[in-house]
Amino acid sequence: MSVRALSFGAVAQAYEKFRPGYPDELFSLVADYASGPPPTALSTALEIGAGTGKATRLFAGHGVAVTATDPDEAMLAELRKHVTVPTRQAAFEQLEPGAPVDLVYAAAALHWTVAEGRWPRVAALLKPGGVFAAFGSPLDLSDEAVAEDMRQAQAPFLESAGFPSPDGTPPEAEMQWPGTELLASELFTDVQQHVIERRLTMTARDYVSHLSTVSAYLGLPVEQQEEVYRRIEQVLPPTVELTADLFVHLARRTVTA
């Protein structure tokens, strides 16, 4: 696990306040997929990299018994303020298989896990026929002119705040990561990719506060962080429109895995 993966605890409250949650449409998508064949009840779940519990609340609120795991205790402490579920401070690679669960999922966290052995570890946590779900939602400025102004403002400090595909899949490919890896794994079947379209509106100040929870900005020296946030806010209109499409990948553990 990289140092960047452990950078969020210092901004746990801002992460909770300025990162969007997940819609009921996401739960319905996962539940419909789990209905089979073969059907999976979605009674129990383990969450990888739960953070402050944005996705935890969605699944627990629909009656799923979620165990939330995260390597950062500060993030779990914030999570416990908002939802009551069992928690475990551990990186994904530190998790030992116990009673297998119906669902393992990762909300904007899977890219922090170690690639080597990733899918055998996930499969070991799942019941045969159990469901794996990964989903995430980059927040991109919808207005390309505004986005270009922002890129220019941050250029002296940061070339890009985004993540390239972990396996090098180009953005124009029909199947994106982690679906690409799931398709290549004999441990999983029925791989699906879905997009839930979302548009959000934020004040410029709230958007900059959101950026302060992004690892690329957190990796800058403090004085550079303050300056880049100031420069970005100066070029933004008072209110910004954001494209926040939710990319969802689903797969099922093979019964013989």
Q: How many CA within 13 A on the CB side of residue 227?
A: 10
Q: Which domains does the chain have, with CATH numbers?
A: 3-141+163-201+242-253 (3.40.50.150)
Report the predicted TM-score, pTM, of the whole model to 2 decimal places.
0.94
pLDDT value of position 176: 97
120 near 149, Cβ under 8 Å?
no
DSSP character string of 137-166: ---EES-HHHHHHHHHHHTTT-S--S---T
CA distance 53 to 99: 22
Mean pLDDT, consecutive 10-residue stretches, the chain (257 aa), reads: 58 96 98 94 97 98 98 97 98 95 98 97 97 96 98 92 86 96 98 98 98 94 96 98 98 86
